[in-house]
Amino acid sequence: MKVGVHPNNLHLFLAGRWDGAFSASDVSFVAYPEGRDSARLLEAGTIDICGTGSTPPILAQANGLDVLYVAASAPRPANGGIVTGPSSNIRDVADLKGARIALLDGSFHTYLLARVLETAGLRLSDVQRVELAPGASLRALGEGEVDAWVAMAPLLDQSLRAGKARLLAPCGDTIPNRSVFWTLRRRELPRGVLEAFIRSLMAFGEAISHQPDEAARLLADEGAGPVDLAAWKKAVETRDWRIVPAGPDIIAEQQAEADTLVRHGDLPDTLTLTDVALVPNVAIA
């Protein structure tokens, strides 16, 4: 089974570099730079399964792909937030109307931004979304080219600590902000293979939680973003690395996100998520 690996899914990014990871599963790791490319690579057969934020599989299904959810991470309340420059005149969410906001559009950034804007009665159409990578977003914020930035850990924490940004709206419980692990039915992966993948992923999450220094070292050494070792250590130590099999609760969260994107016009039609989870026979430790 070809497992897609990219820097924005830390479970799989680390698995591809960790001695003994997934040794109980027959997998090969296929690296690519950007999680939003996952649907295209799955459709082409370049990879068989992937891990991304919550938004890419929703967009994939909206584009007609036969998405199958396999597993998900624990929620990550500290992994994202919307920030402004330290001396910005933007003081609350309502002030974002008309603002230029840097983000990775089509990722969980879009969903987080939509839900935060809703707290002030705003829509995605009330702001100008600017597609920028995280490092470029921080530079653009500092140079006044954008007014706000949808940031994620650990660059979020590093920027706040250095006084280069001010937190406007933390992720918190605004969205679940999980990683989701998914495939396409057309890949025809046997149930047993997928269940072995889930077990390996669960075991690996446990391994990371017991060896946070090793995980942080690998991430810093691999240059997974313009982030120092101290920031990676904090990110690894504060993250919940547990994995859960896909089930009705995960699908309900995905449905809520799809409904939000419809409300904001990012999805043209209502998307109904039914029969899209493997619901494996895997016990949760």
Concatenate the DSSP letters of all residues of 173-239 into one string.
TSS----EEEEEGGG---HHHHHHHHHHHHHHHHHHHH-HHHHHHHHHHTT-SS--HHHHHHHHHHS
Q: Of all residues in the chain, what percent carry a pLDDT higher than 90?
A: 89
The sheet carrying 148-152 orders its strands as: 128-131, 100-103, 148-152, 80-84, 166-170
Does residue 285 surpass a pLDDT of 60?
A: no
Does residue 25 surpass a pLDDT of 60?
A: yes
Q: What is the mean pLDDT of the segment spanning 243-261?
A: 95
Q: Within a 13 Å sphere around the CA of 25, how many CA atoms are in the beta-carbon half?
A: 24
Question: What are the pLDDT digits (tens) for 189-238?
Answer: 999 999 999 999 999 999 999 999 999 999 999 866 678 899 999 999 99
Strand bridging mode 243-245 / 128-131: unpaired
Strand bridging mode 128-131 / 100-103: parallel
Q: What is the mean pLDDT of the segment spanning 16-35?
A: 92
Does residue 284 surpass a pLDDT of 50?
A: no
Which residues, 6 or more positions from 219, have their beta carbon under 8 angstroms from its beta carbon? 10, 13, 14, 227, 232, 236
Triad 36, 38, 41: Cα angle to 5°? 135
All domains of the chain, ordered by start, with CATH? 2-74+178-263 (3.40.190.10), 80-170 (3.40.190.10)
Does residue 53 surpass a pLDDT of 60?
A: yes
Alpha-carbon distance of 263 to 193, in angstroms, equals 37
**pLDDT averaged over every residue in the chain:** 94
Quote the pLDDT of residue 122.
99
Does residue 186 surpass a pLDDT of 50?
A: yes
pTM: 0.95
Does residue 143 surpass a pLDDT of 50?
A: yes
Tokens for 147, please give them: 């007014």
Does residue 71 surpass a pLDDT of 80?
A: yes
Is 260:279 a contact under the CB 8 Å cutoff?
Answer: no
